[in-house]
Amino acid sequence: MPSLNFKGKALVQNFHLLVPFHELKPVKAKSLTTKPSLHDNLVVHGDNLKALKALLPYYSGKVKCVCIDPPYNTGNEGWVYNDKVNSPMMQEWLGKVVDREDLTRHDKWLCMMMPRLKLMREFLTDDGVICISIDDNEVHWLRALMDEVFGEENFVATIIWEKVYSPKSSARFFSENHDYIMVYARRKESFELGLLPRTEEANARYENPDNDKRGPWKPGDLSARNPYSKGVYAIKCPGGRVIKGPPPGNYWRVSEENLWRLHTDNRIWWGEDKNQVPAIKRFLTEVKQGLVPETIWTYKEVGHTQDAKRSLLDIFGDDFQVFTTPKPVELLKRIIRLCTEEDSIVMDAFAGSATTAHAVLEMNKEEGAVRRFLLIESEDYADTLTAERIRRIIKGVPKAKEKALQMGLGGTFTFVEVGNPMHMESLLKGSKLPSFEDLAGYVFYTATGEDFDERAINRKTGFIGTSAQYDVYLLYEPDLEYLKNTALTLDMARELPKGSGKRRLVFAPTKYLDAIHLEEHRIDFCQLPFEIYKAIKPKKA
Ligand SMILES: C[S@@+](CC[C@H](N)C(=O)[O-])C[C@H]1O[C@@H](n2cnc3c(N)ncnc32)[C@H](O)[C@@H]1O
């Protein structure tokens, strides 16, 4: 099989594993809720590589649909490759705007995307799906990269979105009027694509010229190109005409026996004169409840770029800030409608103006659904644009043209800053000690590989959650004196709650009990960074 190669690939292939976990700090003043929580809708401010890694303990395997719209690498977006990969070549790339003159621009883009896509894949449910907006600058590289990260067998489709409504006469060659949306499933066998609502127009194609009791129907072709061993025979029409066989190169779709069985059930249409090439009657009552989506989406169906800008203008009015690449809400709504259920989590790690959140909230209101969004944006406008759009649409924009927006869509969200990395050295120095919750999430997820839910924490006992194998405890405070003086003792072991009855996994700076007592209390002990122990020299051995 051909494989994708690019400069820096060897360095970024496992980079997502090396990215340290970072703290996640909810900011109440920027949130729209009385109880900021990582289990709310989220707007995370920070580079998505760090933010994704930090969110992993909470959301791995839980996101039904990732919708992303990364920089297209057009050469004039001003994006900069900034990942701190440890290599002189990559260090040289840092901080420089990637423009059209840059001979390594595709390499840089792939180096940026690869670790992020690998992390995003970790978030998807088994039946989850990722939809990526892209254009001709990177579509071919992205397809090869996706084949590598998600597997060629999980490719679902590349949709063409007609993004503009009129040609650009200034175009040097063709006036481009489409972008792509590339769709890959986490596991294609498990993924179910939804249907689009049936339209009046589609229903109007069904008629009832013979007043069939079963209602309106549409004629379906009886012949097809697929070879079929019982599909070549002559047909004598009820009107007397003899049809020698299917059209050249074609086969009847049904055997002769089946044809006459269908005829007896009045499911074959022979035309008014009963002498036409037979067609199968497809009844409206028997077709799927929705329409199978096609791969070309027109601006009439899902909006165009001007609609997207107008929507932002409608929300921000005089406070409008220039944002050049918003997507239309209808486009995101269609993706979400096809790829999620009413309680799914939708993630957008290149959030921009928060169109994904807008689509989720609008659909929740329309359907009484409870989908949630997880948004990540690195720029400072994470607060003033991304979160601000959400604040406005939740509360309502009285001057908006759209009725639903005037009233407000309702909902809550928590604004989160990506904090310090949880390097073991920082625990050692005691300078940037992570909060109890952050460290709990980190140790729980890294030790068990299972999702962490900080709502299970009991600070009195140090309990931080139950995994398939363990009840997990953490003896920790973000205080160097506490760390110096805290150890798991026999008394503490005796007082550990019964919990679920599973073995206990206890994280603590050190322990003052031997293997026999640990086993007696069914404890597996994990020392918090070994370096702390070495540096702090506990009072007793
Ligand atoms: C094309 S825009 C997305 C527009 C969005 N779909 C909308 O409708 O508004 C891409 C966004 O990704 C953000 N971005 C780029 N690199 C990022 C990174 N490493 N981490 C987080 N956000 C990033 C950019 O700042 C920009 O806002």
Q: Which of 455, 473, 477 is nearest to 464 (CA)?
A: 473
Which of 74, 313, 353, 378 has most ligand 1 atoms within 8 Å of its beta carbon, as the pocket-test mutant? 378
367-386 in b/e burial notation, b at 16+ Cβ within 10 A?
eebebbbbbbbbeebbbebb
Task: Please tell me the distance from the alpha carbon of residue 106 to that of residue 93, in angstroms, as a whole number.
Answer: 12
Asked whether 385 lines ligand 1 (CB < 6 A), one says no
Q: Are the C-beta atoms of residues 282 and 219 closer than 8 Å to each other?
A: yes
To the nearest 10 degrees (0 to 180), the angle between helices 388-395 and 355-367 is: 20
- Burial class from Cβ neighbours inside 10 Å (0-12, 13-18, 19+) for residue 455 reads exposed
Report the alpha-carbon distance of residue 523 to residue 516 in Å, rounded: 10
Residue whose structure tokens are 């220039």: 322
User: Which of 72, 147, 137 has its CA nearest to residue 117?
Assistant: 147
Tens digit of pLDDT at every position of the chain (541 positions): 888 999 999 999 999 888 888 989 999 999 999 989 999 999 999 999 999 999 998 999 999 999 999 999 998 888 889 898 888 888 888 888 888 888 899 999 999 999 999 999 999 999 999 999 999 999 999 999 999 999 999 999 999 999 999 999 999 999 999 999 999 999 999 999 999 998 888 899 999 999 999 999 999 999 989 889 999 999 999 999 999 999 999 999 999 999 999 999 999 999 999 999 999 999 999 887 889 999 999 999 999 999 999 999 999 988 877 899 999 999 999 999 999 999 999 999 999 999 999 999 999 999 999 999 999 999 999 999 999 999 999 999 999 998 889 999 999 999 999 998 887 666 666 667 888 998 899 889 888 888 899 999 999 999 999 999 999 999 999 888 888 888 999 999 999 998 899 999 999 988 998 989 999 999 999 888 644 444 334 334 3
Q: How many Å lie between the centroid of ligand 1 and the Cα of residue 417?
A: 16
The total of other beta-carbon atoms located within 10 Å of residue 96's CB is 12
- With CA atoms as reference, report the closest residue to 220 among 256, 255, 253, 197: 253
Q: Give distance in angstroms: CA of 134 to centre of ligand 1.
A: 12
Q: Give Cα separations from 186 to 85, 117, 338 (angstroms).
A: 27, 11, 15
For the chain, how big is the Rg over CA atoms in Å?
30
Q: Is 376 in the pocket of ligand 1 (CB under 6 A)?
A: yes
| Residue 273, SS3 per DSSP | coil
Instruction: Give every CB contact of residue 18 below 8 A, 6+ residues apart in sequence.
Output: none
CB of 454 shorter than 6 A to ligand 1:
no
For ligand 1, the distance from its centroid to the CA atom of residue 350, given in whole angstroms, is: 4
* CATH superfamily entry for domain 20-75+116-192+293-419: Vaccinia Virus protein VP39 (3.40.50.150)
Nearest protein Cα to ligand 1, atom 26 = 352
Residue 28: Cβ within 10 Å count: 11
Encoded tokens for 86: 């440890």
Q: Please give the structure tokens belonging to residue 432.
A: 């940037």
The Cα 219–Cα 276 span in angstroms is: 12
Angle between the 355-367 and 305-316 helix axes, to the nearest 10 degrees? 80
In the prediction, which pLDDT does 456 show?
94
Look at the block and give the residue holding tokens 């007896």: 264
Q: Give pLDDT, residue 424.
A: 63
Provide the Cα torsion 478, 483, 489, 494; round to 10°: 0
DSSP letter string over 232-252? Answer: ---EE-TTS-EE-SSSTT-EE
Helix, strand or coil, per DSSP, at residue 440: helix
Q: Is 437 in the pocket of ligand 1 (CB under 6 A)?
A: no
pLDDT of residue 411: 96
The DSSP bridge partners found for residue 414 are 42
Give the mutation target among 45, 350, 390 for probing the ligand 1 site: most ligand atoms within 8 A of CB.
Answer: 350
Which residue has 């979400």 as its token pair?
A: 336
Distance from the alpha carbon of residue 172 to the mean position of ligand 1, in angstroms: 28
467 CB near ligand 1 (under 6 Å): no
Q: Measure 386 CA to ligand 1 centroid, in angstroms.
A: 10
CA–chain centroid gap for 525, Å, is: 36
Ligand 1 centre and the CA of 113: distance in Å? 12
Ligand 1 centre distance from Cα of residue 70 (Å): 6
- In the numeric block, the tokens 């175009």 are attached to 171
Ligand 1: nearest atom to the Cα of 350: 12
Ligand 1 center to 3 CA (angstroms): 28
The one-letter amino acid code at 528 reads L
Q: How many other CB atoms sit within 10 Å of the CB of residue 57?
A: 25
Distance from C-alpha of 441 to C-alpha of 123, rounded to nearest angstrom: 16
- How are the residues of the chain apportioned to helix, strand and coil, as percentages rounded to the nearest 5? 35, 20, 45
C-beta 386 within 6 A of ligand 1: no
Q: Which atom of ligand 1 is nearest to the CA of 70?
A: 10
Concatenated DSSP letters of 31-80: EESSS--TTS-EEEES-HHHHHHHHHHHHTTTEEEEEE------S-S--B
Q: What angle (nearest 5°) sits at the alpha carbon of residue 324, between those of residues 320 and 330?
A: 85
Q: How many angstroms separate the alpha carbon of residue 375 from the centre of ligand 1?
A: 10
Residue 465 CB neighbour total at 10 angstroms: 24
Q: Where are the beta strands (DSSP E) in 299-370?
A: 345-348
Q: Could you tell me if the CB of 180 is within 6 A of ligand 1?
A: no
Sheet holding 268-269, edge to edge: 217-221, 279-283, 268-269
Kindly list the distances between the CA atom of residue 77 and the CA atoms of 72, 81, 98, 217, 354, in Å, as whole numbers in the listed order: 8, 12, 8, 51, 18
Q: 73 CB less than 6 Å from ligand 1?
A: no
**In a 3-state reduction of DSSP, which class is residue 91?**
helix
Query: Token pair of 372, please?
Result: 């949630």
Find the DSSP H helices in 340-419: 355-367, 381, 388-395, 403-407
What's the CA-to-centroid distance between 432 and ligand 1, angstroms? 29
Q: How far apart are CA 218 and CA 284, in angstroms?
A: 8
- CA–CA separation, 38 vs 27, rounded Å? 11
- Cβ-contact 246, 252 below 8 angstroms: yes
Kindly report the pTM of this predicted structure.
Answer: 0.83
The pLDDT score that the predictor gives to residue 531 is 41
Of 82, 84, 87, nearest in space to 11 by CA: 87
Domain ranges across the chain: 20-75+116-192+293-419, 200-290, 422-536
Which residue's CA lies nearest to atom 5 of ligand 1? Answer: 352
